[in-house]
Amino acid sequence: MKKIQISPSILSADFSNLEKDIKKLETAGADMIHVDVMDGHFVPNITIGPPVIKALRNKTSLPFDVHLMISPVHKYIKDFANAGADIITIHPEATPNLQESIDEIRSFKKKVGISLNPDTKIDIVEDYLDKVDLILIMSVYPGFGGQKFISDVLEKIKSLKDLKDKRKLNFDIEVDGGINFSNFKSVIDAGANVLVSGTTIFKENNGDIKKNIDFLKSI
């Protein structure tokens, strides 16, 4: 089994001092930084764009795990790649040609991720599993932080892990949405090896980020 990695979402960070919180995450043992990009169109919220990512890029050596919840996504891939994203994750519903968007991400020598909403079937990406580095399973409907984990996605994670093992593939299985101390072990047991967490990491144990990250890796 792959080592468990933690990708804290800066959606729960202090937006008035993102540099400080990102440095805290790095010191505390985070494996990467999860950046939620929302456009107010594909999802009902607006967050940050390439200029903010570019401004933060030289503040940490951690990879930027950038989740694009925007549509149409294809024409913005270049901007996020040039801003400093290391992993670019897109939704299949947000592009008219998923293969072209995968190729576009690869052209900038970035890792490719595909995200599946809670009601998006694995079938939609089954033909692309050998072409990606990461599948992001959403365990809430994207758009807002702090939502409750949808337990039905555990079966989807298990099915994806079975498919991965059967085909001897090596992509990461990342899960995002409502991850907390009471459910993270079930997510890992189902087959995930990358956990995205915002509220739990920044708020639990009186904001002791290191303690919270260590606990999420404690399985």
Q: What is the 3-state secondary structure (H, E, C) of 42-105?
A: CCCCECCCHHHHHHHHHHCCCCEEEEEECCCCHHHHHHHHHHCCCEEEECHHHCCCHHHHHHHH
Identified catalytic residue from 36, 39, 65, 172: 36
The count of residues in the chain is 219
DSSP code, position 206: H
Nearest residue to 184 (alpha-carbon basis) of 212, 164, 143, 142: 212
Q: How many CA atoms, within 13 angstroms, populate the side-chain half-sphere of residue 54? A: 9
Ranges of beta strands (E only) in the chain are: 5-8, 33-38, 64-69, 87-90, 111-116, 134-138, 172-176, 194-197
Cα 96 from Cα 119, distance rounded (Å): 19
Tell me whether residue 36 is one of the annotated catalytic residues: yes
Cα 147 from Cα 101, distance rounded (Å): 29
Identified catalytic residue from 21, 31, 172, 176: 176
CA atoms 186, 190, 195, 196: torsion sign: negative
Tell me whether residue 176 is one of the annotated catalytic residues: yes
Can you state the angle between helices 18-28 and 209-216, rounded to 10 degrees?
50
The residues that are catalytic are: 36, 176
